Structures are given as C-alpha cells and as structure tokens.
Amino acid sequence: MKFVDEAFIDVAAGDGGNGCVSFRHEKYKEFGGPDGGDGGRGGHVFALADPNLNTLVDYRFSRRHEAKRGQHGMGSDMFGAAGDDIVLKMPVGTVISDAETGEVLYELLKPGEMITIAKGGDGGFGNLRFKSAINRAPRQKTPGWAGERKSLKLELKVLADVGLLGLPNAGKSTLITAVSNARPRIADYPFTTLHPNLGVVRVGPEQSFVVADLPGLIEGASEGAGLGHQFLRHLQRTRLLWHVVDLAPFDDSDPVEQARAIVAELKKYDQALYDKPRWLVLNKIDMIPLEERAARAKDFVKRFKYKGPVFEISALTREGVQPLIQSAYQHIKSQQVAEQPPVYVDPRFAGEAPQ
C-alpha cells in the first residue's frame, strides 16, 4: 500500500431542512390552526482516530466529503428527519488544519477519539413556532441554516517513542528489525527505506515502546534534498532520538563529518527537534576488528565532541542491542512518569497510613 502522510480534502456538512407552512384540515374542525413542522438538522462530519490505519492514502483520491441535508418540515406537526452524519476514519496522529490559513484546528492523539470537523446546519422553523394569542394563523417560516464548509489539510505525524536518525545505509532498517517486529526492506544500496516504518519493541511483560525508522537524511535535506526531509515531521512527537552512525563506512568516508552534517540539518529544520534527547548509536562494530573497536569508538566521540550516552552495537549480529533497549525503556518510562499530573491528596487524610 502506498504511504501517504499528507492530503487535502473539502468537507461540507448538511444544510438544515426548511420549515413548513401548513394548517390543520380536518372534518368538523374549521379553524384547526397552524401545524407546520420544523426542518431537520443537517448531517455533521466527524473525524475518528482509527488505530488500524497508518496512512492517509484513502484521502489522496477522495477529496470531497458531503453529509446529507435535513428533511424539510411537513404538515400535521411533523418535523423533518435529521440528515445522515458521515464519519471519516483517520490514523492516530493526524493533524487537521485549515488549508488556507494553516491554522491547526484539531489533533487526533488517542485511539477511538472522535471530533466534529464540520457542524450541520439547524433546521428552519415551521409556522407552528410562530403561533401566538394575537397571531393565530401565522404564515411565517424560516429556511434551514447552511452547514459548515471547510477546506482542510490532513498531516500525519506518527506517534512513536523513539525515532531513528541517520544517513542512508547507516543500518537503521536492520536495527529496527533487530529490536522490534517491524520488517522493512533491507538492501545494500542507499534509500531502501521510502516511508516511515513503525515497530513495537518488547522489553518485558507489559513493557514496550514504539520505534520509528525514517528514510535517511543527507546534507541539504532541510532545503529538500533526498527523501528524509519529507518525513522529519514524524520525529516531532518522539521522546528520544537514536542517532545511528555507520562506524565502518564502505567508502572510507569520515563518519564524524557525516554525523555533523546530520545534526546541522536537524537544527536547520526545527530547533525543538534538535533540542530533543539524542543518543549516539555507533553501528556496524562487527565490521571492525575486536582489538580496534574501543579505540575507534573513543576517537569518534572525542572528535564529534559528544557528551551524551553512547552505545556500540551491531544491528546485524544484535551485539550490544539489549543494553540500548533497556536504557531507552527506562528513559521513556521516567519521562512518562514526569508528565503525569500530580495526584491530589486531601490534606485531611495526608497523614494517614494506607489501610
């Protein structure tokens, strides 16, 4: 299935039905009075966060979405039926914004969350509404109100705890395969990853986190070079970045210069993304003789002037992967605990021991 993480749609809620002018006509009831009912409400347009979807491809070729209008009011005190609502299913993590102004209107962050993106118009009043002591035969009615119409931009930002960052062929796809249930395409040429891949990392019973593998970045990505810039938005919701570096590049290039270029592109793209916690993951140590690994890693860290956590791994042989997973889970768990609102304790019972 083609991965689509951006789409433009037009939505139109249903118009309200018109009110009715009618008078009661029955045998032996000469002055039955007004009995024109109100029009029905127009249908709403809802957006539903569906955890079973992971792309916006359904909206690439289906752009216009209209709800039904309300039924008109009728005689004999009969109100019109409301128009049918429509529900647009979208992936969790979809950002809905105004296509013209760019203003963010809604965000779907929880599975099953449903929001109203276009409200149906109210029905018009029938002449039954205008009956009074001095106006016993009203002929007034009102038309139904128009439903909301909007042009919207849909943008998907995947919800992942850890994002993989690095050059093409740094081994990111091999790493996500080694630590999770994701099975991306792996090959010995660059840009094998063409769209984000999500994988769930099982750390232990009821202990897991989600990792996202994005297309590799190259120098000039912030200006549109390569593929990775198209998907950098997916890293904005992550709690932690793994900067994967090929410590033994096949072309004998300098991995320090390559790592610096990636960090520079990240800073150009988004300062908030640059400020996220970022761990250094030195990959492909299996390509380096055992007696040279420690010196090679130490030299890289010194020249890169990096002071954060460093992990030396081989995604292919899974060497050093387990400590990386355990440390990442502990980091994510501590962040989740810190983000929890404080539990309110009634001061009257603060000193009591639990029973």
Amino acid at 323: P
244 three-state secondary structure: strand
At 228-261, the pLDDT tens digits run 456 677 777 788 888 888 888 877 788 888 888 8
At 162-210, the pLDDT tens digits run 888 887 777 788 888 888 765 655 544 444 455 677 778 888 777 888 8
Over range 75-89, report the average pLDDT: 91
Over range 98-124, report the average pLDDT: 91
Q: What is the DSSP string of 305-344?
A: T--S-EEE-BTTTTBTHHHHHHHHHHHHHHHHHHHSPPPP
Tokens of 122: 């109210």
How many CB atoms are located within 10 Å of the residue 354 CB?
4
- Least confident stretch, 86-90, 139-143, 163-167, 345-349: 345-349
Tokens of 151: 């042009």
Angstrom distance (rounded) from CA 280 to CA 290: 20
| CA torsion through residues 154, 183, 185, 245, sign | positive
65 three-state secondary structure: strand
pLDDT at 350 over 90: no
Q: What is the pLDDT of residue 205?
A: 78
Q: What angle do CA 142, 71, 81 make, to 5 degrees?
A: 115
Helix axes 255-269, 293-304, angle to 10 degrees: 40
Long-range contacts of 267-276 (CB under 8 A, 24+ apart): 268/222, 269/221, 269/222, 269/229, 269/232, 270/232, 270/236, 272/236, 273/232, 273/235, 273/236, 276/235, 276/238, 276/239, 276/240, 276/241
Structural contact between residues 55 and 2, judged by C-beta atoms closer than 8 angstroms: yes
Over range 134-163, report the average pLDDT: 88
| CA torsion through residues 249, 252, 256, 258, sign | negative
At residue 62 the predicted structure's pLDDT band, cuts being 50, 70 and 90, is: confident
Q: What is the pLDDT of residue 272?
A: 82
Tokens of 49: 């966060």
Structural contact between residues 309 and 323, judged by C-beta atoms closer than 8 angstroms: no
At residue 84 the predicted structure's pLDDT band, cuts being 50, 70 and 90, is: very high
Q: What is the pLDDT of residue 183?
A: 62
Q: What is the pLDDT of residue 343?
A: 72
